[in-house]
Chains A and B, each alone.
Chain A
Protein backbone atom coordinates (compact mmCIF):
# COMPACT_ATOMS: atom_id res chain seq x y z
CA UNK A 1 0.00 0.00 0.00
CA UNK A 2 1.59 3.33 -1.01
CA UNK A 3 2.23 6.10 1.44
CA UNK A 4 0.41 9.20 0.23
CA UNK A 5 2.15 12.53 -0.04
CA UNK A 6 1.43 14.76 2.95
CA UNK A 7 0.60 18.41 2.44
CA UNK A 8 2.70 20.59 4.69
CA UNK A 9 2.01 24.10 5.86
CA UNK A 10 2.25 26.75 4.30
CA UNK A 11 0.37 24.86 1.59
CA UNK A 12 -2.86 26.93 1.44
CA UNK A 13 -4.95 23.82 0.77
CA UNK A 14 -4.63 22.89 4.45
CA UNK A 15 -6.87 25.87 5.21
CA UNK A 16 -9.64 24.61 2.96
CA UNK A 17 -12.94 23.36 4.42
CA UNK A 18 -13.68 19.79 3.34
CA UNK A 19 -17.05 18.58 2.03
CA UNK A 20 -19.14 15.69 3.38
CA UNK A 21 -18.75 12.22 1.88
CA UNK A 22 -21.85 11.39 -0.18
CA UNK A 23 -21.21 7.83 -1.39
CA UNK A 24 -19.70 4.90 0.47
CA UNK A 25 -17.87 3.10 -2.33
CA UNK A 26 -15.13 0.50 -2.76
CA UNK A 27 -12.87 3.35 -3.88
CA UNK A 28 -13.49 5.07 -0.54
CA UNK A 29 -12.42 1.89 1.31
CA UNK A 30 -9.25 1.71 -0.80
CA UNK A 31 -8.47 5.34 -0.04
CA UNK A 32 -8.98 4.75 3.69
CA UNK A 33 -6.44 1.94 3.59
CA UNK A 34 -3.92 4.20 1.90
CA UNK A 35 -4.68 6.94 4.42
CA UNK A 36 -4.08 4.47 7.27
CA UNK A 37 -0.76 3.35 5.77
CA UNK A 38 0.26 7.01 5.58
CA UNK A 39 -0.78 7.66 9.21
CA UNK A 40 1.17 4.67 10.48
CA UNK A 41 4.25 5.60 8.43
CA UNK A 42 4.58 8.91 10.29
CA UNK A 43 6.53 8.75 13.56
CA UNK A 44 4.09 8.66 16.46
CA UNK A 45 1.10 9.60 14.34
CA UNK A 46 -2.19 8.77 16.09
CA UNK A 47 -4.51 10.40 13.60
CA UNK A 48 -4.80 11.71 10.08
CA UNK A 49 -7.39 13.59 8.07
CA UNK A 50 -8.04 13.27 4.34
CA UNK A 51 -7.22 16.92 3.54
CA UNK A 52 -3.69 16.29 4.83
CA UNK A 53 -3.17 14.17 1.73
CA UNK A 54 -5.04 16.53 -0.58
CA UNK A 55 -8.48 14.90 -0.56
CA UNK A 56 -10.97 17.47 0.67
CA UNK A 57 -13.65 15.20 2.02
CA UNK A 58 -14.68 14.77 5.66
CA UNK A 59 -12.73 11.60 6.41
CA UNK A 60 -10.42 11.06 9.40
CA UNK A 61 -8.70 8.15 11.08
CA UNK A 62 -7.71 7.94 14.74
CA UNK A 63 -5.96 5.15 16.59
CA UNK A 64 -4.45 5.86 20.02
CA UNK A 65 -4.38 2.20 21.07
CA UNK A 66 -0.57 2.08 21.29
CA UNK A 67 -0.62 4.51 24.23
CA UNK A 68 -0.46 2.70 27.58
CA UNK A 69 -3.30 2.82 30.08
CA UNK A 70 -5.74 5.15 28.36
CA UNK A 71 -9.37 4.55 27.41
CA UNK A 72 -9.85 4.21 23.66
CA UNK A 73 -11.97 2.64 20.92
CA UNK A 74 -9.12 1.14 18.87
CA UNK A 75 -8.85 1.91 15.18
CA UNK A 76 -11.49 4.43 14.20
CA UNK A 77 -12.67 5.42 10.75
CA UNK A 78 -14.57 8.67 11.13
CA UNK A 79 -16.54 9.83 8.12
CA UNK A 80 -18.59 13.04 8.33
CA UNK A 81 -17.84 13.21 12.07
CA UNK A 82 -19.92 15.51 14.26
CA UNK A 83 -19.30 16.38 17.89
CA UNK A 84 -22.72 16.22 19.56
CA UNK A 85 -21.64 17.33 23.03
CA UNK A 86 -18.48 18.24 24.87
CA UNK A 87 -17.48 18.78 28.45
CA UNK A 88 -14.45 19.93 30.41
CA UNK A 89 -11.32 21.62 29.13
CA UNK A 90 -7.75 20.41 29.29
CA UNK A 91 -4.41 21.58 28.01
CA UNK A 92 -2.25 19.19 26.03
CA UNK A 93 0.71 19.33 23.74
CA UNK A 94 0.15 18.74 20.05
CA UNK A 95 2.17 18.43 16.91
CA UNK A 96 1.10 17.66 13.36
CA UNK A 97 2.49 15.73 10.42
CA UNK A 98 1.59 18.76 8.31
CA UNK A 99 3.58 21.14 10.55
CA UNK A 100 7.06 19.62 11.01
CA UNK A 101 9.38 20.61 13.83
CA UNK A 102 6.88 22.36 16.07
CA UNK A 103 4.74 21.37 19.03
CA UNK A 104 2.61 23.60 21.21
CA UNK A 105 -0.07 23.62 23.87
CA UNK A 106 -3.71 23.55 22.86
CA UNK A 107 -6.88 23.51 24.95
CA UNK A 108 -9.45 20.89 23.96
CA UNK A 109 -12.61 19.42 25.43
CA UNK A 110 -11.84 16.54 27.81
CA UNK A 111 -14.92 14.51 26.93
CA UNK A 112 -16.91 14.41 23.73
CA UNK A 113 -19.91 12.64 22.36
CA UNK A 114 -19.18 11.87 18.73
CA UNK A 115 -21.27 10.72 15.81
CA UNK A 116 -19.56 9.46 12.66
CA UNK A 117 -20.05 6.98 9.87
CA UNK A 118 -17.66 4.11 9.20
CA UNK A 119 -16.34 3.17 5.75
CA UNK A 120 -19.39 0.91 5.18
CA UNK A 121 -21.85 3.74 5.75
CA UNK A 122 -22.82 2.58 9.23
CA UNK A 123 -23.60 5.42 11.65
CA UNK A 124 -21.91 5.08 15.04
CA UNK A 125 -21.75 7.05 18.26
CA UNK A 126 -18.88 7.19 20.69
CA UNK A 127 -18.33 8.61 24.15
CA UNK A 128 -14.67 9.59 24.29
CA UNK A 129 -12.30 11.19 26.73
CA UNK A 130 -8.76 12.38 27.17
CA UNK A 131 -6.11 11.69 24.57
CA UNK A 132 -8.50 10.00 22.14
CA UNK A 133 -11.00 12.87 22.37
CA UNK A 134 -8.11 15.29 21.78
CA UNK A 135 -6.97 13.37 18.69
CA UNK A 136 -10.48 13.43 17.24
CA UNK A 137 -10.81 17.18 17.80
CA UNK A 138 -7.40 17.73 16.15
CA UNK A 139 -8.51 15.74 13.07
CA UNK A 140 -11.95 17.37 12.83
CA UNK A 141 -10.16 20.72 12.84
CA UNK A 142 -8.32 19.61 9.68
CA UNK A 143 -11.70 18.98 8.03
CA UNK A 144 -12.64 22.57 8.87
CA UNK A 145 -9.37 24.04 7.54
CA UNK A 146 -7.94 24.64 11.00
CA UNK A 147 -4.48 23.69 12.28
CA UNK A 148 -3.42 23.34 15.91
CA UNK A 149 -1.47 26.55 15.25
CA UNK A 150 -4.85 28.32 15.17
CA UNK A 151 -5.50 27.21 18.74
CA UNK A 152 -2.14 27.64 20.48
CA UNK A 153 -2.41 28.98 24.01
CA UNK A 154 0.03 31.24 25.75
CA UNK A 155 1.91 29.53 28.55
CA UNK A 156 1.22 32.51 30.78
CA UNK A 157 -2.54 32.28 30.41
CA UNK A 158 -3.15 28.60 30.77
CA UNK A 159 -5.77 26.73 32.75
CA UNK A 160 -3.61 26.54 35.83
CA UNK A 161 -3.56 30.31 36.24
CA UNK A 162 -7.28 30.56 35.61
CA UNK A 163 -7.96 28.02 38.33
CA UNK A 164 -5.80 30.00 40.71
CA UNK A 165 -7.79 33.15 39.90
CA UNK A 166 -11.13 31.40 40.47
CA UNK A 167 -10.19 29.98 43.85
CA UNK A 168 -8.44 33.09 45.14
Chain B
Protein backbone atom coordinates (compact mmCIF):
# COMPACT_ATOMS: atom_id res chain seq x y z
CA UNK B 1 0.00 0.00 0.00
CA UNK B 2 1.55 3.30 -1.05
CA UNK B 3 1.31 6.65 0.71
CA UNK B 4 -0.36 8.06 -2.37
CA UNK B 5 -3.53 6.21 -1.44
CA UNK B 6 -6.35 8.50 -0.38
CA UNK B 7 -9.38 7.86 1.79
CA UNK B 8 -12.91 8.30 0.50
CA UNK B 9 -16.28 7.96 2.19
CA UNK B 10 -18.54 5.97 -0.06
CA UNK B 11 -22.27 6.05 0.72
CA UNK B 12 -24.86 3.78 -0.88
CA UNK B 13 -28.60 3.95 -0.28
CA UNK B 14 -31.43 2.04 -1.91
CA UNK B 15 -33.99 -0.72 -1.67
CA UNK B 16 -32.59 -3.63 0.32
CA UNK B 17 -32.01 -6.97 -1.33
CA UNK B 18 -29.68 -9.90 -0.68
CA UNK B 19 -26.13 -9.70 -2.05
CA UNK B 20 -25.56 -5.94 -2.20
CA UNK B 21 -22.49 -5.94 0.05
CA UNK B 22 -20.95 -8.84 -1.85
CA UNK B 23 -21.44 -7.17 -5.25
CA UNK B 24 -20.16 -3.76 -4.18
CA UNK B 25 -17.13 -5.03 -2.29
CA UNK B 26 -16.20 -7.36 -5.17
CA UNK B 27 -16.12 -4.35 -7.52
CA UNK B 28 -13.94 -2.46 -5.03
CA UNK B 29 -11.59 -5.39 -4.59
CA UNK B 30 -11.23 -5.88 -8.34
CA UNK B 31 -10.37 -2.18 -8.64
CA UNK B 32 -7.66 -2.54 -5.98
CA UNK B 33 -9.51 -0.37 -3.47
CA UNK B 34 -9.17 -1.15 0.23
CA UNK B 35 -11.89 -1.08 2.85
CA UNK B 36 -11.46 0.59 6.23
CA UNK B 37 -14.24 1.04 8.76
CA UNK B 38 -17.76 0.49 7.50
CA UNK B 39 -21.28 0.67 8.85
CA UNK B 40 -24.28 -0.93 7.18
CA UNK B 41 -27.79 -0.56 8.49
CA UNK B 42 -31.23 -1.43 7.24
CA UNK B 43 -33.37 1.62 7.91
CA UNK B 44 -37.07 1.39 7.15
CA UNK B 45 -36.45 -1.39 4.64
CA UNK B 46 -33.70 0.56 2.91
CA UNK B 47 -30.18 -0.64 2.51
CA UNK B 48 -27.69 1.97 3.75
CA UNK B 49 -23.95 1.69 4.01
CA UNK B 50 -21.05 4.03 4.61
CA UNK B 51 -17.61 2.73 3.84
CA UNK B 52 -14.15 4.16 4.28
CA UNK B 53 -12.43 3.24 1.03
CA UNK B 54 -8.74 3.66 0.33
CA UNK B 55 -7.99 4.15 -3.33
CA UNK B 56 -5.12 5.51 -5.42
CA UNK B 57 -7.27 7.25 -8.04
CA UNK B 58 -9.50 10.31 -7.86
CA UNK B 59 -13.22 10.59 -7.08
CA UNK B 60 -14.09 10.12 -10.76
CA UNK B 61 -12.13 6.91 -11.02
CA UNK B 62 -13.76 5.53 -7.88
CA UNK B 63 -17.16 6.50 -9.26
CA UNK B 64 -16.39 4.63 -12.47
CA UNK B 65 -15.32 1.61 -10.42
CA UNK B 66 -18.52 1.33 -8.35
CA UNK B 67 -21.04 3.25 -10.46
CA UNK B 68 -21.97 0.31 -12.69
CA UNK B 69 -22.73 -2.09 -9.89
CA UNK B 70 -24.57 0.60 -7.91
CA UNK B 71 -26.76 1.35 -10.92
CA UNK B 72 -27.46 -2.31 -11.56
CA UNK B 73 -28.69 -2.62 -7.95
CA UNK B 74 -30.71 0.64 -8.07
CA UNK B 75 -28.55 2.25 -5.39
CA UNK B 76 -27.79 5.94 -4.98
CA UNK B 77 -24.04 6.42 -4.80
CA UNK B 78 -22.25 9.30 -3.14
CA UNK B 79 -18.48 9.70 -2.76
CA UNK B 80 -16.52 12.22 -0.69
CA UNK B 81 -12.79 12.58 -0.35
CA UNK B 82 -12.07 12.55 3.40
CA UNK B 83 -9.21 13.26 5.75
CA UNK B 84 -9.44 9.94 7.47
CA UNK B 85 -7.27 7.39 9.08
CA UNK B 86 -7.62 4.10 10.90
CA UNK B 87 -6.77 3.34 14.53
CA UNK B 88 -8.53 6.46 15.74
CA UNK B 89 -11.06 4.77 18.02
CA UNK B 90 -12.42 6.61 21.02
CA UNK B 91 -13.79 4.50 23.82
CA UNK B 92 -17.19 5.61 25.13
CA UNK B 93 -17.58 5.90 28.88
CA UNK B 94 -21.33 6.26 29.07
CA UNK B 95 -24.41 4.62 27.54
CA UNK B 96 -27.75 6.41 27.56
CA UNK B 97 -31.10 4.88 26.73
CA UNK B 98 -33.99 7.21 25.94
CA UNK B 99 -37.50 6.11 25.17
CA UNK B 100 -41.04 7.30 25.28
CA UNK B 101 -44.24 7.79 23.38
CA UNK B 102 -43.14 9.07 19.98
CA UNK B 103 -43.53 12.79 19.46
CA UNK B 104 -41.87 15.51 17.45
CA UNK B 105 -38.62 16.89 18.78
CA UNK B 106 -37.45 14.14 21.16
CA UNK B 107 -34.02 13.80 19.56
CA UNK B 108 -33.42 17.54 19.38
CA UNK B 109 -34.51 18.01 22.98
CA UNK B 110 -32.47 15.12 24.38
CA UNK B 111 -29.29 15.65 22.40
CA UNK B 112 -29.41 19.39 22.99
CA UNK B 113 -29.56 18.99 26.76
CA UNK B 114 -26.88 16.29 26.72
CA UNK B 115 -24.57 18.35 24.51
CA UNK B 116 -24.79 21.24 26.97
CA UNK B 117 -23.83 18.81 29.74
CA UNK B 118 -20.70 17.84 27.84
CA UNK B 119 -21.72 14.66 26.02
CA UNK B 120 -19.72 13.85 22.90
CA UNK B 121 -21.85 11.32 21.00
CA UNK B 122 -19.81 8.52 19.45
CA UNK B 123 -22.68 6.28 18.36
CA UNK B 124 -26.40 6.88 18.16
CA UNK B 125 -29.17 4.61 17.02
CA UNK B 126 -32.85 5.22 17.16
CA UNK B 127 -35.86 3.21 16.23
CA UNK B 128 -39.62 3.41 16.30
CA UNK B 129 -41.34 0.45 17.94
CA UNK B 130 -44.82 -0.05 19.35
CA UNK B 131 -47.72 0.15 16.95
CA UNK B 132 -48.86 2.57 14.25
CA UNK B 133 -51.50 3.83 16.67
CA UNK B 134 -49.11 4.15 19.62
CA UNK B 135 -45.54 4.42 18.39
CA UNK B 136 -42.67 4.32 20.88
CA UNK B 137 -39.43 6.11 20.17
CA UNK B 138 -36.29 4.30 21.39
CA UNK B 139 -32.83 5.79 21.22
CA UNK B 140 -29.53 4.36 22.32
CA UNK B 141 -26.47 6.57 22.64
CA UNK B 142 -22.89 5.77 23.48
CA UNK B 143 -20.58 8.65 24.12
CA UNK B 144 -17.86 10.34 26.03
CA UNK B 145 -18.80 12.42 29.09
CA UNK B 146 -16.36 15.30 28.67
CA UNK B 147 -17.70 17.12 31.74
CA UNK B 148 -18.14 13.93 33.79
CA UNK B 149 -21.05 11.59 34.37
CA UNK B 150 -22.76 13.61 37.19
CA UNK B 151 -23.33 16.48 34.74
CA UNK B 152 -25.14 14.06 32.43
CA UNK B 153 -27.20 12.68 35.33
CA UNK B 154 -28.42 16.23 36.00
CA UNK B 155 -29.20 16.65 32.31
CA UNK B 156 -31.28 13.48 32.35
CA UNK B 157 -33.41 15.00 35.13
CA UNK B 158 -34.35 17.79 32.73
CA UNK B 159 -35.22 15.20 30.09
CA UNK B 160 -37.33 13.16 32.53
CA UNK B 161 -39.12 16.30 33.66
CA UNK B 162 -40.18 16.71 30.03
CA UNK B 163 -41.92 13.32 30.23
CA UNK B 164 -39.28 11.27 28.43
CA UNK B 165 -37.85 8.12 30.04
CA UNK B 166 -34.09 8.12 30.15
CA UNK B 167 -31.46 6.05 31.90
CA UNK B 168 -27.70 6.24 32.04
CA UNK B 169 -25.11 3.56 32.59
CA UNK B 170 -21.41 4.32 32.92
CA UNK B 171 -19.30 2.10 30.67
CA UNK B 172 -16.24 0.71 32.38
CA UNK B 173 -14.32 -1.05 29.62
CA UNK B 174 -12.72 -4.26 30.77
CA UNK B 175 -9.26 -5.00 29.38
CA UNK B 176 -8.18 -8.58 29.99
Contacts and interface: CB of A to CB of B under 8 A. Distances in A.
Given A93-B171, A160-B97, A138 B176 contact: yes
A45 B175 contact: yes
B170 to A, nearest CB: 10
Interface stretch (B14-22, B85-93, B110-118): B85-93
Binding site of B, secondary structure by majority: helix, strand, loop or mixed? strand
B172 A67 contact: yes
Interface residues of B, number: 20
B167 to A, nearest CB: 9
Nearest to B90: A103
7 contacts: A45-B176, A46-B174, A95-B174, A101-B89, A139-B176, A155-B140, A161-B138
The 9 lowest CB-CB distance pairs between A and B, nearest first, are A47-B176, A138-B176, A93-B173, A95-B175, A44-B175, A94-B174, A93-B171, A45-B175, A101-B87
Contacts of A92: 171-172, 174
Contact of B175 (A46, A155, A156, A158): A46
Interface residues of A, number: 33
Interface of A: 42-49, 62, 67, 92-97, 101-103, 131, 134-135, 138-139, 142, 148, 155-156, 158, 160-161, 164, 168
Contact of A131 (B91, B140, B174): B174
